[in-house]
Amino acid sequence: MSGSERTVDAVIVGAGFAGLYQLYRFRELGLTARVFEAAPDVGGTWYWNRYPGARCDVESMSYSYSFSPELEQEWTWTEKYPPQPEILRYLNHVADRFELREDITFSTKVTGATWDDGAKRWTVTTDGGETVTARYVVMATGSLSVPKDPEVPGIERFQGKIYRTADWPHEGVDFTGLRLGVIGTGSSGIQVIPLVAGQAADTTVFQRTPNFTLPAGNRLLTDAEIAERKANYREWREAQRRSGFGVPVPVAEKSAFEVSEEERNATYQAAWDQGSLMPILTAFTDSITAQAANDTAAEFVRGKIREIVENPEVAEKLCPTTYPIGIKRPCLDTDYYATFNKDNVHLVDLRQTPLAEFTDRGIRTAEREYEFDAIILATGFDAITGALTAIDIRGRDGVRLTDKWSDGPRSYLGLAVAGFPNLFTITGPLSPSVLSNMVVSIEQHVDFVTQAVTHLRDNGYAALDANVQAEGAWVAHVDEVAHYTLYPTADTYYNGANVPGKPRVFLAYAGGVGTYREHCEQVAAKGYEGFDFI
Ligand code: FAD
Ligand code: N01
């Protein structure tokens, strides 16, 4: 297709959970759509992140599509927390079952999208040399799809092998007998470290900020659990949609200080034993809004770290103390802290001895050089905005998205950007996105977009554009809600702190997916209030 030019109703960028579902919905409307996906196959996150231990930390029967009751019934999840290969199989099944592949161009990156105000259409270009014009463009490009290397010089000098968790070799890697370095202790690092450390001769973990992690307690699902959920999927899905994080949990009724210390710790112990993130973060009404309440949960987990890790110095290094629990994305793990009890596993605290450079033999910190055969980078992503700003998107009057967002993203509902008509961002900045079970948020955004497009067609409008006032009000609201919580108090990818030079703006809507959904429903019910039709 190189060099060809075509016209479709919609271009969708990305073939992960979001792009696949958007394609399905647009087809139902009878639209012609073309999906472009940089990877050679479907899956998005679950195509790229194939490192040992990669799995979801939302339960499988909640982290799955709800749009097709038939799909829900015919697919059977095997584990409480699904491993990456199983989620990838599921997404391949979805692509095959709904015959989605024929409208997807793989191994092709979208490089630019330019709005033509006269034709009221987008012209989309790809790195394959294609030009496509479309009435609608949906960016299903992912919130965690642009990996970032550590900002340390010399990576090209290293003579051993470099592996990135976010782009892991399909054939797997055997670390047996090797001296291994791992940089990064976010969720990816915490999942991969116990497994690779069980294989390598010697493993050194470079930690800049310790993370809170709880035991996953992963296990096979029982037949009875599966049957029960399959019988009650509709009620469960509705509860997910109206919940705070896309995972129904009991709503707390008391402050952490309305109960005795004993009762508080018993609550935290039950949460710890449950193998789930939500119970400890939502145990009390003020768990993520008040520092003192949060401190009680954080101290409980630090106590667990001190119990598990035998060397007190190592335990202290592993204890997060510089930010509240839950405010930097916490993790569920399998044997993470216990891994540091092994004689051949070492922890380097980069706050004491920062990374200086890669050398031909390994890594040099401010203190010394470490020699390795292989290094794993688990150093995160240019999250939430990275995939959008990587594309040359130009709206009305030729305004570039990157210029409009030079001080941080501005968006109406996290879905639409004023001056960029008919361009939609699934789980875009200033929507619940990474603060939720993302499949729930993805389905809600795709449904909103599909209904908005139906509204345009039914009413004979060519395009809709968020108005600047509505956008400004939403930006202010997102900021206000964030400041009601402890989220802005920490340096995290939620506010761009992990990417040098990125504007510090809280990038997600912290009011909960249920509240957010209601807001979007009201916008639609009021004839798409806040949008102008052109
Ligand atoms: P992605 O799955 O990121 O798909 C986006 C796709 O767009 C990618 O395939 C990318 O190649 C493509 N793309 C981007 N830019 C372009 C371009 N310019 N041209 C062409 N193609 C492009 N979320 C949870 O809710 N619970 C979890 O437990 C959880 N675990 C996770 C574990 C890992 C290791 C990671 C990295 C993320 C995890 N997430 C989790 C978040 C996860 O990203 C989402 O749940 C979900 O998979 C996102 O789907 P998506 O389709 O929006 O984006
Ligand atoms: O990325 P991260 P991730 N020098 O940004 C460190 C989802 N996910 O891939 O914290 C030294 O969390 C960085 O240090 P610091 C989930 O949403 C879910 O692990 O910035 N270190 C940090 O330790 C998650 O939140 C699962 O100080 C550097 C690490 O690298 C999101 O994806 C599994 C550095 C990056 O951690 C991202 O997780 C995996 C530098 N220059 C992912 N730069 C589940 O379990 C970065 N670091 C469901």
User: Which amino acid makes up residue 136?
Assistant: Y
Contact 11, 33 (CB under 8 A): yes
Q: How far does residue 521's CA lie from ligand 2's centre (Å)?
A: 34
| Rounded distance between C-alpha atoms, residue 457 and residue 447, angstroms | 15
| CA–CA separation, 64 and 47 (whole Å) | 16
Q: Name which residue sits closest to atom 47 of ligand 2, judged by CA.
A: 379
Q: Contact at 8 Å (CB) between 82 and 62?
A: no
Say if residue 110 is exposed, middle or buried (CB neighbours under 10 Å; 0-12, 13-18, 19+).
buried
Mean pLDDT, rounded, for 441-459: 98
Q: Cα(162)–Cα(358) distance, rounded to whole angstroms? A: 11
Dist CA 155 CA 81 (whole Å):
34
From CA 487, how far away is CA 366, in angstroms rounded?
Answer: 31
415/453 Cα distance (integer angstroms): 13
Among all chains, which residue has been given the structure tokens 């550590």?
150
Q: What percent of the chain has pLDDT over 70?
A: 99
> Cβ neighbours of residue 500 under 8 Å, at least 6 residues apart?
151
pLDDT band of residue 161 (cuts 50, 70, 90) is very high
pLDDT of residue 2: 42
**Ligand 1 centroid, distance to 15 Cα (angstroms):** 9
Please write the tens of the pLDDT for every residue from 68-126. Answer: 999 999 999 999 999 999 999 999 999 999 999 999 999 999 999 999 999 999 999 99
Helices (H), 421-460: 438-458
pLDDT tens, residue by residue, 273-309: 999 998 999 999 999 899 999 999 999 999 999 999 9
Which residues have any ligand 1 atom within 6 Å of their CB?
13-19, 36-39, 44-45, 47, 49, 54, 56-58, 63, 109-110, 140-145, 188, 387, 391, 426-427, 437-438, 442
Minimum-distance ligand 2 atom for the alpha carbon of 379: 30
- Ligand of minimum distance to the alpha carbon of 16: 1
Ligand 1 center to 226 CA (angstroms) = 26
Q: In terms of C-beta density within 10 A (0-12 exposed, 13-18 middle, 19 or more buried), how is residue 128 classed?
A: middle
pLDDT over threshold 60, residue 214: yes
Q: Which of 145, 188, 401, 441 to mutate to test the pocket of ligand 1 (most atoms within 8 A of CB)?
A: 145
Structure tokens at 201: 């001769």
| Whether pLDDT at 1 is above 60 | no
Pocket test for ligand 2, best of 187, 213, 381 (most atoms within 8 A of CB): 187
**In this structure, which residue's CA is closest to atom 24 in ligand 2?**
187
φ, ψ at 525 (rounded to 5°):
-60, -30
Return the pLDDT at 4: 58
Residue 424 clears pLDDT 60, i.e. is over it: yes
* Alpha-carbon 510 to chain mean position: 14
Mean pLDDT, the chain, whole residue set? 97
Give the ipTM of the model, two decimals please: 0.99
Contact 207, 347 (CB under 8 A): yes
| Whole-number pLDDT of residue 451 | 98
Q: What are phi and psi of 370, to 5 degrees?
A: -115, 135
Residue nearest to atom 30 of ligand 1 (CA): 56
For the segment 236-263, the average pLDDT, to the nearest whole number, is: 95
pLDDT band at 216 (very low <50, low <70, confident <90, very high): very high
- If you measure from the C-alpha of residue 47 to the centroid of ligand 1, how many angstroms do you get, rounded to a whole number? 9
Helix (H, G, I), strand (E, B) or coil at 123: strand
Q: Is any atom of ligand 2 closer than 6 Å to the C-beta of 350?
A: yes
Give the pLDDT confidence score for residue 435 in this predicted structure. Answer: 96
For ligand 2, the distance from its centroid to the CA atom of residue 378, given in whole angstroms, is 6
End-to-end, the C-alpha distance of the chain in Å comes to: 33
492 CA to middle of ligand 2, Å? Answer: 9
Nearest CA to ligand 1 atom 44: 438
In this predicted structure, what is the pLDDT of residue 84?
98
- Cα–Cα distances in angstroms (integers) from residue 439 to residues 21, 121, 234, 432, in the given order: 10, 29, 16, 11
Phi, psi (rounded to 5 degrees) for 363: -130, 135
Residue pLDDT, tens place only, 317-376: 999 999 999 999 999 999 999 999 999 999 999 999 999 999 999 999 999 999 999 999
Q: Whose CA is nearest to atom 42 of ligand 1?
A: 45
Does residue 413 sit in helix, strand or coil? Answer: coil
pLDDT grade for 460, boundaries at 50, 70 and 90: very high
Could you say which ligand is closest to the alpha carbon of residue 427?
A: 1
What average pLDDT does the segment 456-482 reach? 98
Residue 269 pLDDT: 97
Q: Contact 183/203 with Cβ under 8 angstroms?
A: no
pLDDT of residue 3: 46
- Ligand 2 site-directed mutation target among 145, 328, 498, most atoms within 8 Å of CB: 498
pLDDT digit string (tens) for 48-79?
999 999 999 999 999 999 999 999 999 999 99
Ligand 2 mean position, distance from CA 503 (Å): 19
| Lowest-pLDDT choice from 3-17, 118-132, 502-516 | 3-17
